[in-house]
Structure 1
Amino acid sequence: MTAAADFTLDRAGGGSVMRFTGDLSLPKLGDLPKRLERQGDDVAVIDLSGVDRIDTIGAWVIHRFARERDARIEGLSGDGQNLLEQVQAADQPVQMRPHSTSAFRRVLGEVGEATAHSARTALGLLAFMGETIIAFWGVMRHPRRFRFNATVQRFEVVGVSALGIIGLMSFLIGVVIAQQGAVQLRQFGAEAFTINLVGRITLRELGVLMTAIMVAGRSGSAFAAQLGTMKLTEEIDAMRTIGVSPMEALVLPRTIAAVVLMPLLGFYASILSIIGGGLLCWFALDIPPVAFIARIREVVPITDLYVGLIKAPVFGAIIAVAGCFQGMQVKGDAEQVGLKTTSAVVQAIFMVIVIDAFFAVFFEQIGWI
C-alpha cells in the first residue's frame, strides 16, 4: 500500500528544493494543498523523483504550486510526465464573456458567415449531384447492380402513400382559386373567366409547384432523416466496408423514384384542382360540369400541360438530391439529424421556387404563354 503524499524542503543558497514522496492521487492528498499554501516563495525546484503515483488532481496541485512560485519541476518520466504536460497545456485563461461588438459589425459578420455557408452548401450540393449522375451512369453500364426492390419501395413511399394528402390539398386549392377568382371577376361581370383562371394556373403552375412543396416536406425530409440516422449508426460506413456503394444502394433509388413519380403526382394534383374548381363553379356560379369541361378544352392550350410535365422531373431531382445530400452530411449527435432534415426541406423548397421562376422566364421567351 502506497504512502500518503508528503514533502520535505531542503534549503540551499540558490533557493529551496521541495521533494515530494508518496502517492500524489486524490485519495492520498489529504491536507497537502493547505500545507503548500503556507510555504514561502523561495522554492526554486520541485523534485518528484520520489513520487510513487500521480493522477490529474495531484498534477494540478503541483502545477499550480510551481506556477505561483515560478519553480521548476523535475523527476517525472513516462506517463507521469505526459500527464503533467497535458495539465500544463490545459491551464489557459477562459473568456467568460465575449467581447462586445457593435450591432453593425455583428450583423455584417452574420451575413458573411451565412453567405460563405450558402456557397459551401451550393458547391457541395453540385458535387453530390455529380456523384448521383456518375452512380446512375454506372448502373446503366452494369444493369445487374440496379436495386429494383429498393426503387419500387421508394415508389410506394414517395407516390402511392402521398396520393391522399396531395389529392386533398389540390382539391381544396382548386376550390379556393375558383372562389377567390369568382369574387374578383364578379365586379366586372366576368365570372365565366373563372374557368380560364382555374384551368391555366393549376396545369401550368400551382399543380406541380404545390406538389413539389408537399413532396419536399414529406419525402425530402424522410430521405434526410433516414440517411442521417444510418450515418449516425455507421450503417453507411459498414456498406462501404463490404463493397456496397451508398450512392447506388441508397441515393439512386430515392432519386429515381422522385424523378419518375413527380410528373404523375403533378398531373394528378392538377386534375383534382380542376375538379375542385369545377364543383365550385357548378354550385356557386351555376356553370354545369359539361360547360366547364368544354370551356377548359377551349381556353387551356396543350402547352400548359407540357410546361407542368417538363418542370416536374426537375423538381423531383432537386428534392431527392437535397434530401439525400443533407442526410449524408449528418455527423456528431442525434441533434444533427433534426437540423439537417430542416435544412433539406428549406433548401429543396427554395431551389424549387427559384427554378420555377427560371422556367417561367424561359417558357415566356420561347412563346409558351
Structure 2
Amino acid sequence: MQLFKCDHCDQPVYFDNTFCSYCQNLLGFDGISLSMISLHKNNDGTMTAAGSGINYHYCINHKHDVCNWIIPDSDPATICIACAPNRTVPNTSIPEHLDRWKTIEQAKHRLMYALLKWSLPVKSKILDPDNGLAFDFKSDEYLPEGQRVMTGHASGLITMNIAEADDVEREMAKKNMDEVYRTVLGHFRHEIGHYYWDLLISGSEFLGEFRELYGDEGYSYQEALDRYYNNGAPEDWREHYISAYATMHPWESWAETWAHYMHITDTLETAYSYGLTIAPTVAPVNAGLAAQIDVNAYNCDDFDKIYEKWLPLSIMMNSLNRSMGAQDLYPFIINPSVKEKLRFIHKVIHSQKNKH
C-alpha cells in the first residue's frame, strides 16, 4: 500500500485516515482515481474537495466507522465500489461484531484497492449474478450448536467467519492448523484467487499453461480435500509449492500462489512509497541482499525485476522482526517451481491490466 498525502496541505496521510491531523480537513478515498481527497465540510453539510471543487459524500458504511471511501455527489449511489459486493455483514448492534467488521473491512478495502489498481473486473453480484462478486461475513452463534461458518469461496461468493477478525481465535486456529501465516488480509487474497481462477483461467487461453504449472484440476476436489486432511502434504512439498496446503489440489496451489503475488506486490509498493534502499554494510554487491526499490510493483511489467527486489526486502523484513523477538514476517521460501507459478499469475494479471 502506498503512502498518500493530503492534497490540501501536502502532509503524509494513510489509506485508513478519515481526517488530516495537520490541517484538520476531512479525508476520503476515491475509488475511481485511487487517491486520497481532502474535503472541506460546508455549512449546509455538503463536502467539497479542496483541489477540484467537486462535492462528495461518504459511503453509507462510513456511519459505522468501517469505510472512508467517497462518492461524487453527481453519482446517486450511497455505497462505494469497495462495499457494494457486501451481501451479509455482522450485527452492528453487538459491539464485538462491529469491531470485528471494522477489522474485516480494513483488510477487504486493501484487497479492493489492489484489484482496482490492476484494473481487474470487480462487479457486485447484484449487477452480475453469474460472474459478479459477493461477500458474506457471518458468525457461528447464528448456527445450530456444533456447526461453524466456514471461510471459503463458491461461485463468486466469499464467506468469512468473523471470528477470523479476533486475534486470539485466529492464533488458535493458526496453531491447530499448523500454519506459519494466517491473517484476515491473507484469507481475502487467497479466496479472491479462487474467484479470478473462475473468471480468468477456466475456459480461457491460459488454461493449458495453468495445467502445465499447477496440474490438471479435473479430479474430485472433495477427494483431494479428504486425502490432504487424512494424510497431510508430501514430505517434499517445499520443493514444488509455496505452502503445505497448496499441495491439496491445483486450485489451492493457484489460490495460495495468487495470495503471495498480492503479498509481494503490495509490500513492494509500500517500500517504493517510502523510497527504500537496502544496502547491507557487510554483504558484497553480488550477495543478493541489496536492492533499490525504485519501481512500483503494481505498474511493473517485468516480473524478474519484481522478484529481484522482493528477495532482499523479505530477508530484511524477517531480520527486523527477529530483532523485535517476533516471528518472521514472511516465513516462506520461493522455490523455482513457485517462481514460475508467480510469473504466470503476473502474466495473467497484466494481460487484464493492459486491456485498459
TM class by shorter chain equals under 0.3
Higher strand share: 2
Higher helix share: 1
**Which structure exhibits the higher relative contact order, with contacts defined as CA atoms closer than 8 Å and separated by 6 or more residues?**
1
When normalised by structure 1's length, the TM-score is 0.21
